[in-house]
Chains A and B, each alone.
Chain A
Amino acid sequence: MIQLKTMLNCIDNSGAAVVECALIVGQKRHATIGDRFVAIVQKQRGASDAGMGAASAANKVKRGDIRHAIVVRTKKKVQRPDGSVVRFDDNACVLINKSGDPIGTRVNGVVGAELRRRKWSKILSMAPTHA
């Protein structure tokens, strides 16, 4: 249930750590797993532990960037066609570019299996596990 101003964890290695939802692409009230939204990078990864200069060299996105992203985990329960329901402990996303390819090269953490139904199998294959 991602809506305007929701803060999500970004779990790829694009350089963003926390992003904020600015708009949900499509005529939707809330985004769920597999939905695309416009994200603003609020926190950069490695900005705190490493120096800003060292981090920004590897990071593809910077704080304040506006990118598209795909929701991969939600705290809100998501029901599957067979009646089972999945729920995660956090909201997480993966950044993509305008054409739909992931910006990062790897995904750290479990993602929802709904991505296959929503035709995001590229993200699904990058993830270590899916539930």
Chain B
Amino acid sequence: MLTHTTARRPLGAWKSVLRHARQQRPTPVSLLRTMTTQTTPDTPSAVEPPPPPMPAATPKPSPPKPYLHSLKPQRPNTPTRSTFAVYPRVPSSRALTPAPLESYHAQQVRRLDRKGLRTRLFSKANPDAAKPGDVLQVTTKRGEPFAGVCLSIRRAGVDTAILLRNTMTKIGVEMWYKIYSPNILGIEIVWRRPKRARRARLMYMRQPKHDMGNVDHLVSEWRRTRNVFSSKGKAGKGKDASATGAKGRR
């Protein structure tokens, strides 16, 4: 419904127009298709993770040379020790070695998200990123894909997780997913909230007054539009085409 209105009045929604223009820029085909985070089908055993940054590899600073500081003798006829060595301050090792926890998180993210697509999908710098209030669909290795409105994004390095809420058989179901989990095949934006949510955590959407209810109609509509663009000849098939589109994701 939203897509139709924007198509009719393109100036009515500047945000989506700009987003569309951004996506029209020459980008790789994989990025152009949609904002998805599909993992490559490479086997994890075949590729070795990049070696962790070695903190010992940094050149060890040679011990600083002392210089001799001499005092002017106050009583020249009584011999005193008037010269001693002064050692300069040793540079802090904090500046030289990377923070171990941050580098470890970065290494794990690099290992689990080789193309950086999931990082990009949830990065704050990306204007097209998924935000709280959007409807996302998470496809896992086993079971059906779970779609729901994103209530919050918990940013914690490689443990970054999203909270999705949907209503199934009139019962609210909430799922936390780790976005870098290897069990997750892809995260897709099904529907964007027309206006940015003014909260980071949309826990009020649990209340019946604000609850979105079931998002299946948004998902089915999104599937239909996606099929129109991806397969020209099979668009007329309707139910059958949407079913294969749901399953036959590459």
Q: Point out residues on A near B: beta carbons under 8 Å.
A: 73, 77, 82-90, 92, 108-110, 113, 128-129, 131
Contact call A84/B171, Cβ cutoff below 8 A: no
Contact of A85 among B140, B170, B175, B183 (CB under 8 A): B175
Within 8 A of A (CB), among B52-81: none
B-side contacts of A129, CB under 8 Å: 168-169
Q: How far is the CA of A5 from the CA of B146 in the complex (A)?
A: 33
Contact call B171/A89, Cβ cutoff below 8 A: yes
Task: Please name 16 further chain A to chain B contacts, defined as beta carbons within 8 Å, in addition to the given A85-B175, A128-B169, sorted by A numbering.
Answer: A77-B176, A82-B183, A83-B178, A83-B181, A84-B175, A86-B175, A87-B174, A88-B173, A88-B174, A89-B171, A108-B169, A109-B169, A110-B169, A110-B173, A113-B143, A131-B175
- Dominant SS among interface residues on chain A: loop
5 nearest CB pairs, A to B = A89-B172, A85-B176, A110-B168, A87-B174, A83-B178
B44 to chain A, nearest CB (A): 15
Contact of B174 among A82, A86, A108 (CB under 8 A): A86
- Dominant SS among interface residues on chain B: strand
Q: Is B104 an interface residue (CB 8 A)?
A: no
Q: Is B177 an interface residue (CB 8 A)?
A: yes
- Chain B residue with the shortest CB-CB distance to A110: B168
B74 to chain A, nearest CB (A): 73
B231 to chain A, nearest CB (A): 28
Within 8 A of A (CB), among B118-148: 140, 143, 146
A-side contacts of B206, CB under 8 Å: 89
- B: contact size bracket: 10 to 19
Total of A-B residue pairs, C-beta within 8 Å: 50
B-side contacts of A73, CB under 8 Å: 171
Q: How far is the CA of A129 from the CA of B206 in the complex (A)?
A: 21
With a 10 A CB-CB cut-off, give which of A90, A109, A110 has the most chain B CB atoms. Answer: A110
Contact call B181/A84, Cβ cutoff below 8 A: yes
B230 to chain A, nearest CB (A): 27
Q: How far is the CA of A110 from the CA of B173 in the complex (A)?
A: 9
A117 to chain B, nearest CB (A): 12
B-side contacts of A92, CB under 8 Å: 171
Q: How far is the CA of A73 from the CA of B183 in the complex (A)?
A: 23
A-side contacts of B176, CB under 8 Å: 77, 84-86
B-side contacts of A83, CB under 8 Å: 161, 178, 181
- Chain B residue with the shortest CB-CB distance to A84: B177
A-side contacts of B146, CB under 8 Å: 131
A-side contacts of B174, CB under 8 Å: 86-88
A-side contacts of B171, CB under 8 Å: 73, 88-90, 92, 109-110
B112 to chain A, nearest CB (A): 12
B183 to chain A, nearest CB (A): 5
- Chain A residue with the shortest CB-CB distance to B177: A84
Q: How far is the CA of A129 from the CA of B140 in the complex (A)?
A: 16
A45 to chain B, nearest CB (A): 16
A130 to chain B, nearest CB (A): 8
Contact call A109/B175, Cβ cutoff below 8 A: no
Q: How far is the CA of A86 from the CA of B143 in the complex (A)?
A: 14
Contact call A86/B181, Cβ cutoff below 8 A: no
A-side contacts of B177, CB under 8 Å: 84
B8 to chain A, nearest CB (A): 36
Contact call B183/A131, Cβ cutoff below 8 A: no
